[in-house]
Structure formats: C-alpha cells, structure tokens
Amino acid sequence: MKALVLPRFKSLLLGAVSGFFCLSFSVTAQAEGTFLSIDEVETETGFYQPDFLLELGYGPDMSHVEIGMDFQKEQSMGFAGLYFSRTEYDMTASETATMTAIGIRGLKYSSPINDTVGADLHLGINQTKAGSYERTGIEFALSFYESFNESTSMIIGFSFRPEFLAFDWNEGVITESGYELGINHQFSPQLNLFAKYYYENLWQDNFTSDRINDGAMLGVNYLF
C-alpha cells in the first residue's frame, strides 16, 4: 500500500508546487501591469500636494488654534479643505470652556476690484464643554468679508450649534450661538492679520441667554 500511496503523494505535491509557481507568475505579471498603469496615470495627471493653514488667535480670556489642509488644485480661493480647531475660554477664575471641532472650511476674501463680498464657512462636528454643560454635534459658522480697500476688510460673522443636530441632549438648551465683528488685513495671499470682538452664549428654551465668554482677540493665519 505504501508503495502505491507515495507516488500519488509525490504527484500531488509536484502538481501543487507547479500550480503555485504558475499562480505566482500570473499574480506578479498582473501586479506589474497594475503598477505600470498607476505610473502612467501619475505621469499624465500628477499627484496634488496639499497646502497647510495655521491660524492662531489670542485674547485676554481666550486662545484659539486651527490647522487645515487645502485640497484645491488651483488657488481660486483663500482656503478650501479640512480643518481642526480648538478654542479655550476663561469663564471664571476656576472654570474653562473648550470648543473642539473638525470639518470642512471654505474661505474666499472680498475683492474691491470686482466688488465681491468674501465669505468664510466652517461646517463640522464640534464638542463644547462649559462647566457642567457638554454638547457634541453639528456646527455651522459663516463670516462675511466686505472690503474697505485692496488689503483691509470688515468681518461680520455668526455661528450656530443647535441641540437638534447634537448627538447628546441638554435639557432646556435650544442652541449655542456665536457672533463676531472685526477687521482683516491681508499682507499677502498667504498671510492675514485680524482683530475681532466675539460673543459666545447658550440660548435656553425660555429664550434667556447664558454667556459663555466675550471679548476682544487678535489673530493671524498663514497658508504654506
């Protein structure tokens, strides 16, 4: 019996090894063809390297940092891409409010030559923590830029973070809201300096308002 089984085993083993090498050769050939196609596509279109945005803001009772990746291939806007931001407010001597957000941002400055109004849009997921209050959900913020001259613009903005677009629920709160008024000065297409007055608060369901923080801030953003 062993004399009969051994040749069959050798035959099966030889067939398996042969099949393995054939399969390996086929996969390698297909992989080479795939890599060649990728190389051809890269040569034809190229891969886009994103720009980065760094934005810093500071005031007596607040600090703000934002980083972003700009994915527009042609610089038709000031910025268009993803952002991550974190803002801290000193509510009292012992309590700090924080807002952390991630999402998409589109920024286009106003132009006095074409008489166009600029806009800065943030749409993302925001988490607010202020004392015992906490909310995580959708954030919508929009600012408008109106030119005074070629380099300087007025900023008017607002933001909303409603409870019905939150992943959790705070009894009695309708929405968070923020307002800003300021001036932006563009030193170059990459560098901007701005000064703002801001106001952040909570609206209760009885239409009363609880202030989170307000004050003046000075900031800069740089695209590189």
CATH architecture type of domain 51-223? Beta Barrel (2.40)
pTM for the whole thing? Answer: 0.76
Mean pLDDT of the 76-97 span: 90
Q: Where are the domains of the chain?
A: 1-47, 51-223
pLDDT at 33: 44
Q: Which residue has the higher pLDDT, 4 or 194?
A: 194
Distance CA 21, CA 24 (A): 5
One-letter amino acid of 155: I
pLDDT at 189: 86
Enumerate residues 6+ apart whose C-beta is below 8 A from 24. none
pLDDT at 82: 97
If you ran DSSP here, which 8-state letter would residue 49 be given?
Answer: P
Q: What three-state secondary structure class fits 35?
A: helix
pLDDT at 131: 86
Mean pLDDT of the chain: 83
Q: What three-state secondary structure class fits 50?
A: coil
pLDDT (tens digit, 9 = 90+) per residue, 44-69?
445 567 899 999 999 999 999 999 99
pLDDT at 36: 38
